[in-house]
Amino acid sequence: MENLTQARHAEELPTRLREICRHYDQDQIFLLCDSNTHRHCLPLLRQGGMEAVLPEEHIICLEAGDKHKSIDSLTFIWQVLSQKGATRHSLLLNLGGGMITDIGGFAASTFKRGMDFVNLPTTLLACVDAAQGGKTGINFNGLKNEIGVFSPAKEIVVCPFFFQSLDRQNLASGYAEMLKHGLLSDQEHWLEVLRLDLSDCCRPEFGSILLRSMQVKTAIVAQDPTEKGLRKSLNLGHTVGHAFESWTHEQSQPVLHGYAVAWGLVCELYLSMRLLGFPKDIFQQTIYQIKDVFGALPFSCKDYPALTEKMHHDKKNAGHNIQFALLSDIGQIHIDQVVEEKLIEESLDFYLDFMGY
């Protein structure tokens, strides 16, 4: 299980990192960031003696943006590590959102057949999603995360003060995954996520709820690290959500990942209610929260064929069936649920009616 620790205040971060880095005193430490985190986050990290631990020549900076999660960027990271004499006993710190933790974890896991890496996620979405769980990789041949390996971080250091630079949309994107974790957990955690105030991420209460959300995913991954069974439950909201996300890219109006997942939850909780008796009161509370936080994605019934076609291409499917992770209640998970297209279209009908289209 990945080790999760939290630096509640900016001044705690260098101290925590020095503790981690002490285990690598006899070798070298490198840091991967992007142009955004280099400007906004790295100065906080390189305080309290960390300047000596992290010389400028050991900082590897990529351009920001998912298009740079590429084979060219990966080669660049490997080249720097090789030129600077990194070994399999070196350490790579990944400072950034999901793009950086994905490519950094993959680079570290494959260099010299594997060196340790620590993730320092700087977005709420990365904290609760990409930075944990051991999925690493790059985009290739026009496909997201086409090449990668399962390889867990040595440690994940959570720093909520980084979120102060995020706009409301990016905070909400991460909140969608927290809402999903609440549904996979228990009623107490679901309720505290439902009531969570995103306006002040540095409050101790926010940090505690965030850590608990991350622990939901960590516990599931520990039981099924390579997604053969239980880990598929983390795809709740994602079968429809990924279809929404891909469709918006084709419309040249891309939405953030968490928004697509939140809208996907509306449809998949509807399917859970229809097929497995998911409680109507919990369903209603959740979807009204989603409508309030995320608004709505506009589409129409003429878009159904394109959306269901994308669901058919979801990598979780077996054969020609569209499979879902659904719930009979909070924490009561049912994976590999085959749903007919007619019922999927019914869930889309419900979505459009509920959202007012």
Question: Per residue in 83-98, pLDDT tens?
Answer: 999 999 999 999 999 9
CA gap 84, 89 in Å, rounded: 13
DSSP-assigned states of every residue in 198-240: TT-TTSHHHHHHHHHHHHHHHHHHHH-TTSSSGGGGGGTTHHH
**Hey, where are the domains in the chain?**
3-165, 169-355
Dihedral of the alpha carbons of 311, 317, 318, 324, in degrees to the nearest 10 = -100
pLDDT (mean) for 311-325: 83
What is the residue-averaged pLDDT of the chain? 94
pTM above 0.85, yes or no: yes
Confidence category of residue 44, pLDDT binned at 50, 70, 90 = confident
| pLDDT at res. 337 | 96
| pLDDT at res. 207 | 92
Q: 261 near 241, Cβ under 8 Å? A: yes
Q: Which fold has domain 3-165?
A: Rossmann fold (3.40.50)
Please provide residue 6's backbone torsions phi and psi, each rounded to the nearest 5 degrees: -130, 130
Instruction: Please check the confidence at residue 325 and state whether its pLDDT lies above 80.
Output: yes
Q: Which fold has domain 169-355?
A: Dehydroquinate synthase-like, alpha domain (1.20.1090)
Cα of first residue to Cα of last residue in the chain, in angstroms, is 44
